[in-house]
Amino acid sequence: MSNANEMLKSFLKENKDHHYNFEEEINYKVSSGSLNVDFELNGGFGPGLHRFTGMNEGGKTSEALEVMKNFLKMPHSRGLYIKAEGRLSKEMQERSGVEFATAEDDWSDGNCFVFESNIYETVLDLMRALVGDNENKTKYCFILDSLDGLIMKEDLKKDFQDAHKVAGGALLGAKFMQKMSIALAKRGHMAIFISQVRADIKLDPYSKAPVRQTTATGGNALLHFANYILEFEPRFKKDLILEHSTQPIDKDKNKILGHSAKITVKKSPNEKTNYTLQYPIRYGRTGGNSIWIEKELIDMLYGWEYIKKRGAWISSDESFLELLKENGFDFPEKVQGEGKLSVIFEEDKKLTSFLASYFKKIICE
């Protein structure tokens, strides 16, 4: 062994409290809840920081809670929802499928504690304590909703007419991740930071706009710390999913069934940057079932040529029927219309679960 190796070995040992080289790296993939999104993200989200940005009602919080729900399926896992904006309605909780706890004694593996604070130092201290003092090797999923809601203690004490920090969100975000980023990723924890959009104020309307990776608040530092940055696009009338797609909306004769959510990948580790992804949302569902997985399955079956449409009829490929038969499922050779095909999947939860797992296995390989 060379002198340099001996020096490095001694240095690492003497400074073991200030680096992570002796710790085993933990890796996993947590599903987004959508087959389409999982396919493009190579199976879902891994440890570390992810940012969800975009317009209001774009689906940021709902998708963050969907990831949380799937994260909590892992053994020895807990969630922490940091309620920094005061928004987590009862309806959203019911739709999410996440079990929430508001009393410290009710927090346990598999559920999520709601921490109601927007004080930067308090939030950071709690996260550092959980990640740093973790003898039980618990994996944590943190949702910060939102970064823009945080305020420092010294600013909290100021009167409204007093000056506050300029670019406070950027400063807080940078300081936050300087203290937490390596520990989060190395030790298998996940953090999802939700951010609002920012508008640039231009004094000269003819001046050239600076190139920005995303419209989110929080400064450039968080762009570098994040693994994935997903920007949730605004929803338009054309994104609505109706009972009859070619007919106008009618509350009695042609109801709105859901909508197509759209996200643009602003940063990714798997060369998907600038891709726009879509996934369907079904209205009226609770328990973490809002993502319309049945509709995605039909699209997947078309894509893999397991089913083909001829006129009004949808026929099943022999290999698909054989796959289902081998796993104990009966399936019709022909179905009249996508509506009836969707009903089959919605009524047979075991079949839907099997096909979803089948495609996810293919996606993750």
With contact defined as beta carbons under 8 Å apart, do 225 and 177 qualify?
Answer: yes
Tell me the pLDDT of the chain averaged across its residues.
88
Q: E strands along the chain, which residues?
A: 48-54, 77-83, 100-101, 112-115, 139-145, 190-195, 228-232, 240-242, 256-267, 276-282, 307-310, 313-316, 334-336
Report how far apart the first and last C-alpha atoms of the chain are (Å, whole number).
Answer: 39
Q: Contacts for 254-258 with beta carbons within 8 Å, 24 or more apart?
A: 256/283, 257/282, 257/283, 258/282, 258/283, 258/292
In this structure, CATH architecture of domain 24-291: 3-Layer(aba) Sandwich (3.40)
Q: Which residue has the tokens 């996508």?
A: 338
**pLDDT band at residue 204 under the 50/70/90 scheme:** very low
Q: Do residues 150 and 116 touch, judged by C-beta distance below 8 A?
A: no
Q: Taking the domains of the chain in order of start, what are their residue ranges?
A: 24-291, 295-364
Q: What global pTM score does this model have?
A: 0.89
CB 112 within 8 Å of CB 80? yes
* pLDDT band at residue 248 under the 50/70/90 scheme: very high
Q: What is the pLDDT of residues 20-79, one digit of tens each?
A: 999 999 999 999 999 999 999 999 999 999 999 998 888 999 999 999 999 999 999 999
Mean pLDDT of the region 78-105 = 95
d(CA 115, CA 126): 10
Percentage above 70 pLDDT, the chain: 88
Report the percentage of the chain scoring pLDDT > 90: 72
363 contacts 39 by C-beta, under 8 angstroms: yes
pLDDT at 215: 53
Section 205-225 average pLDDT: 53
Which tens digits make up the pLDDT trace of 176-189? Answer: 777 788 889 999 99
**Strand pairing class (276-282; 112-115):** unpaired
Whether the predicted pLDDT of 175 surpasses 90 = no
Distance CA 362, CA 365 (A): 5
DSSP state of 106: G
Among the listed residues 285, 283, 232, 288, the one whose alpha carbon sits nearest the alpha carbon of residue 261: 232
Model pLDDT, residue 208: 52
pLDDT tens, 292-308? 999 999 999 999 999 99
- pLDDT at site 177: 74
Give residue 199's pLDDT.
47
pLDDT score recorded for residue 171: 61
pLDDT recorded at residue 214:
52
Residue pLDDT, tens place only, 130-167? 999 999 999 999 999 988 888 888 877 777 666 555 44
Instruction: Answer yes or no: are the C-beta atoms of 120 and 177 closer than 8 Å.
Output: no
